[in-house]
Amino acid sequence: MLRKFAEAIEDPNPRWKETAPPTFAAALVPTELVHRILNAKTPLKRILNGASELEYLQPIRAGEVISVTGR
């Protein structure tokens, strides 16, 4: 997943083969939460993420299992 993410952001830095880029956590948002947000009944035509808070206690490394909780 790290390799695919680095390709998607077009960052060839070899560091991203072992350690996740800082924005990688955004790719871990639960699919159900994304669907709920995008399918919310609202008169608005567009939705903008006004803020996200991420707390890094240590770098995300290749091969780790990550648990994500959305609220």
Residue 2 gets which letter from DSSP?
Answer: H
Tell me the residue ranges of DSSP E strands in the chain: none
Closest CA relative to residue 62, chosen from 17, 6, 10: 17
Q: Using one digit for the tens of pLDDT, what is the confidence trace for 26-52? A: 788 777 777 777 788 888 777 777 877
Cα→Cα distances 44→9, 15, 31, 38, Å: 29, 40, 22, 11
pLDDT value at residue 19: 92
